[in-house]
């Protein structure tokens, strides 16, 4: 306790003294638990209870026993939406105007959520709650993911008491890069033993509920549960994907029409709603060839299996709550962070690294590997025809602020507090409204001060009244939007909106034409009324600029990798020599040595035991089976493998076993042209092998957080010579990487990389 707090008496002797104990902080009796489930890239129409024909029995059960909010909105992107949900403030207001990888030196975009904008656990824990974060985080800058980083922007630094999950925008579901509390950890078992990340996350959620109840049967908890689903890679156990075989033969056009009819029949949308036109760049299903249809069906089967498998894992958590007696008094909220993703492109993707490394994605290759789609060797993503279907009936998609990017499903289930089971609510609700609503429902006020720092006011408003009153007013009449130069503002029934392409400056941002829609008459934004109501447009545009100034939206910049990003000082000054020692694990690409498109030399100092032909293990490796490189020994032979996005593999192998004793092992790469070169292996200064690396990775080795490791591998390794962890069986002293020239950077593709990973 702090000096001065003691309220007993202290005399010279115990019989002259009176002890005193401060009363333990306890939440009010009967305080509800909160389970907030944040799905990723799940469009408005992709849950069964929101018009889909996909199998989501858990989410449907929660909707049937609770409420569906058919007018819930987000920011169009993941890190910004998650910041809104946790702080109750707009994404620019907390510095998260973009994803963390594209921070700029302006208050609305620095990706450093200020301490003056506390998160939900920082309000709930002092009020007697337990607080856990499980799954995707993506609110910590990439250069702070490594084991040597400060922890103030990790989950435990923002009020959570326990954390288990991944920091990146996406994760390999069979071989993720995992963090527990404040340290990096290895997945508990390999995928050959049935490992899948979503199951692992659910295991932890259930275990933590049981841990709490074993010690304290009454303490309420706040659980932030964020699976990777359904962000790419769409990976699921094979039987879940196989269950959907043949379910999508009719294609995306028929699917959209059927989904809209179900949405109208369920009261999610008014009867006069019509489908937004299929974009001209998305082909009609009837115009596709047989091979295209077969491949596109399989991509969708993988997505559907992934979503249904995730639904089942959430179902396990719900069942665990029923077993502990907590279900009736747990507020369960299910949301998605943005609209369905178009990042699979026109033809879908076997490996999203391909586009970021200047490589084509083809139907022919997907057809050849069709049975691998959804498995551990593929980073699959469906084509954008299914994106449009997933956002039925709305226009456009994730990263844009037409309704397809910002209108998302929301379910609220709380048997103890909701009597209108199965009803639909149409109040306009934004992500910033959730925190004030939850605080109101659990009876905890928004703190004026957290850790001695005065807090900014919440910008959202509670919609708690709508839980019991279908006719309750909207919590707020006005909400602005902005994402990479796309802008919108909603005021009452009107919405003014601008679409501006990323990185395109024609027309200039200041010359964009605003569209206008009456969302009560036209929820799917099919009829632009700007010419008919110029006065309404003028009023809304003025309101937008007012909101933009108030919430730090300015300066507008549609270039995701502008000079504002390029001029950011590196977290660690670049150097010509990097030293790694055994045990170094998962160094993120932002802080690891950059060997791309430059001469480099990898040198390992080792001792080999008496039997040299048996020594093996990883010396240094980076990336995963989706792309990367590995410098290792296999049964006494020195090997270097370069895996360029799973499409091109260069392998250089020494012809002989190592003898016992100390050795210096090296790989040397000499660049002969852009992204191509010659490689050679050396043992004690003598060349032991050489070969060509004709396709050296251009821009990114990994997009799932699988970083550089020394002395062992993590997750799904870059080559199939071994399975992780494959620790080095001799003695590894250190590995040094020497690089020549300036680090390679391609701003445009780096920007694409960052955008696709959230």
Site of tokens 């490796």: 621
3-state secondary structure at position 212: helix
Neighbours of 258 (CB within 10 A): 16
The C-alpha atoms of residue 197 and residue 203 are separated, in whole angstroms, by: 10
**Distance between CA atoms of residues 229 and 200, nearest Å:** 13
- Residue 229 DSSP code: T
Are β-strands 661-673 and 676-683 bridged in parallel, bridged antiparallel, or unpaired?
Answer: antiparallel
CA end-to-end distance (rounded Å), the chain: 43
DSSP state of 497: E
The C-alpha atoms of residue 290 and residue 303 are separated, in whole angstroms, by 20
Task: Judge contact between 436 and 539, C-beta under 8 A.
Answer: no
**Which residue among 73, 91, 92, 138 is the active-site one?**
138
Give CA torsion, residues 326, 329, 330, 335, to 10 deg. 140
- Told to judge if 138 belongs to the known catalytic residues of this protein, a careful annotator would answer yes
Reduce the secondary structure of 87-112 to three states and give it as a string.
HCCCCCCCCCCCCHHHCCCCCCCCCC
Please name which of 377, 391, 291, 407 lies closest in space to residue 341, comparing C-alpha atoms.
391
3-state SS, 8-64, equals CECCCCHHHCECCCCCCCCCCCCCCEEEEEEECCCCCCCCHHHCCCCCCHHHHHHHH
DSSP characters for 340-387? ---TTTTT-BSBTHHHHTT----HHHHHHTGGGTTSTT-B-B--HHHH
Partner residues linked to 663 by β-bridges: 606
What percent of the chain is helix, strand and coil (3-state, nearest 5)? 25, 25, 50
CA angle 87, 752, 173 (to 5 degrees): 70
Structure tokens belonging to residue 461? 């408003």
Helix (H, G, I), strand (E, B) or coil at 467: helix
- Alpha-carbon distance of 19 to 395, in angstroms, equals 67
Return the closest-CA partner of residue 335 out of 28, 69, 644, 685: 69
Cα 473 from chain centroid (whole Å): 33
With b meaning 16 or more CB within 10 Å and e meaning fewer, what string describes 180-210? Answer: eeeebebbeebbeeebbbbbbbbbbbbebbe
- Half-sphere exposure at residue 546, Cβ-oriented, CA atoms within 13 angstroms: 9
Whole-angstrom CA distances from 194 to 140, 178, 179, 364 are 30, 17, 20, 30
3-class DSSP state of 68:
strand
Single out the catalytic residue among 78, 117, 230, 486.
78
CB within 8 Å of 684: residues ≥ 6 apart: 663, 664
Q: How far is Cα 683 from Cα 696, in angstroms, rounded to an integer?
A: 23
Nearest CA to 652 out of 639, 667, 634, 669 is that of 639
The alpha carbon of residue 137 and the mean position of all alpha carbons in its chain are separated, in whole angstroms, by 7
Instruction: Kindly give, in sequence order, each residue whose CB lies less than 8 Å from that of residue 542, ignoring residues fewer than 6 positions away.
Output: none
Buried b vs exposed e over 702-726: b needs ≥16 C-beta within 10 Å?
bbbbbbbbbbbbbbbbbbebbebbb
Active site positions, annotated: 78, 138
């Amino acid at each position: 306790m702090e000096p001065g707090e003691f309220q007993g008496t202290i005399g010279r002797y115990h019989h002259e003294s009176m002890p005193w104990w401060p009363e333990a902080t306890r939440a009010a009796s009967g305080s509800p638990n909160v389970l907030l489930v944040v799905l990723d890239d799940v469009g408005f129409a992709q849950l069964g209870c929101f018009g889909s024909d996909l199998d989501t029995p858990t989410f449907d059960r929660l909707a049937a026993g609770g409420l569906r909010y058919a007018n819930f909105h987000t920011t169009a992107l993941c890190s910004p939406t998650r910041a809104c949900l946790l702080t109750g403030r707009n994404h620019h207001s907390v510095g998260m105007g973009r994803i963390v990888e594209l921070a700029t030196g302006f208050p609305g975009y620095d990706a450093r959520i200020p301490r003056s904008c506390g998160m939900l656990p920082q309000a709930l824990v002092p009020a007697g709650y337990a607080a856990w974060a499980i799954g995707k985080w993506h609110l910590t800058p990439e250069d702070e993911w490594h084991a040597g980083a400060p922890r103030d922007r990790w989950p435990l630094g923002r009020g959570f008491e326990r954390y288990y999950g991944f920091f990146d925008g996406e994760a390999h579901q069979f071989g993720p890069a995992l963090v527990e509390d404040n340290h990096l950890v290895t997945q508990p078992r390999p995928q050959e033993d049935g490992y899948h990340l979503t199951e692992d996350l659910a295991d932890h959620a259930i275990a933590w509920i049981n841990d709490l109840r074993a010690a304290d049967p009454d303490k309420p908890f706040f659980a932030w549960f964020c699976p990777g689903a359904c962000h790419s890679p769409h990976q699921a156990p094979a039987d879940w994907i196989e269950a959907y075989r043949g379910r999508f033969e009719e294609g995306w056009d028929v699917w959209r029409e059927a989904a809209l009819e179900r949405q109208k029949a369920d009261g999610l949308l008014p009867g006069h709603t019509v489908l937004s036109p299929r974009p001209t760049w998305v082909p009609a299903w009837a115009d596709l060839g047989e091979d295209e249809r077969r491949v596109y069906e399989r991509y969708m089967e993988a997505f559907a299996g992934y979503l249904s498998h995730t639904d089942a894992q959430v179902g396990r958590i719900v069942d665990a709550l029923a077993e502990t007696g907590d279900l009736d008094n747990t507020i369960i909220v299910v949301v998605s962070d943005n609209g369905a993703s178009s990042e699979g492109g026109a033809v879908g993707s076997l490996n999203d690294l391909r586009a970021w490394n200047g490589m084509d994605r083809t139907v022919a290759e997907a057809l050849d590997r069709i049975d691998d789609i959804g498995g551990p060797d593929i980073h699959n993503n469906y084509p954008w025809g299914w994106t449009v279907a997933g956002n039925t009936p709305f226009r456009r998609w994730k990263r844009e602020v037409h309704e397809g990017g910002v209108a998302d499903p929301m379910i609220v289930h709380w048997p103890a507090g909701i009597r209108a089971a199965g009803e639909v609510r149409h109040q306009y609700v934004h992500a910033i409204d959730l925190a004030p609503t939850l605080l109101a429902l659990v009876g905890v006020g928004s703190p004026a001060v957290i850790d001695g720092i005065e807090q900014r006011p919440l910008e959202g408003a509670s919609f708690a009244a709508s839980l019991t009153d279908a006719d309750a007013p909207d919590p707020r009449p006005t909400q602005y939007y902005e994402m990479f130069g796309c802008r919108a503002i909603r005021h009452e029934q009107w919405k003014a909106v601008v679409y501006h392409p990323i990185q395109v400056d024609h027309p200039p941002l200041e010359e964009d034409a605003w569209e206008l829609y009456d969302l009560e008459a036209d929820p799917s934004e099919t009829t632009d009324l700007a010419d008919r109501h110029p006065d309404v447009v003028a009023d809304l545009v003025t309101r937008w600029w007012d909101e933009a100034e108030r919430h730090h939206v300015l300066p507008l910049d549609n270039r995701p990798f502008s000079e504002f990003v390029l001029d950011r000082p590196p977290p660690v000054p670049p150097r010509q020599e990097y030293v790694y020692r055994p045990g170094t694990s998962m160094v993120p690409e932002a802080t690891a040595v950059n060997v791309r498109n430059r001469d480099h030399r990898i040198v390992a100092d080792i001792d080999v035991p008496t039997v040299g032909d048996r020594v093996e293990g990883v010396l240094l490796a980076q990336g995963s089976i989706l792309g990367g490189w590995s410098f290792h020994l296999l049964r006494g032979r020195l090997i270097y493998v370069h895996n360029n996005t799973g499409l091109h593999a260069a392998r250089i192998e020494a012809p002989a076993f190592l003898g016992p004793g100390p050795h210096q092992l090296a790989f040397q790469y000499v660049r002969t042209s852009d992204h191509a070169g010659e490689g050679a292996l050396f043992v004690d200064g003598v060349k032991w092998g050489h070969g060509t690396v004709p396709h050296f990775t251009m821009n990114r080795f990994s997009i799932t957080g699988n970083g550089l490791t020394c002395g062992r591998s993590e997750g799904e390794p870059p080559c199939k010579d071994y399975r992780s962890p494959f620790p080095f069986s001799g003695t590894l002293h250190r590995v040094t990487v020497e690089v020549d020239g300036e680090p390679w950077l391609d701003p445009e593709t780096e920007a694409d990389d960052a955008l696709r990973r959230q």
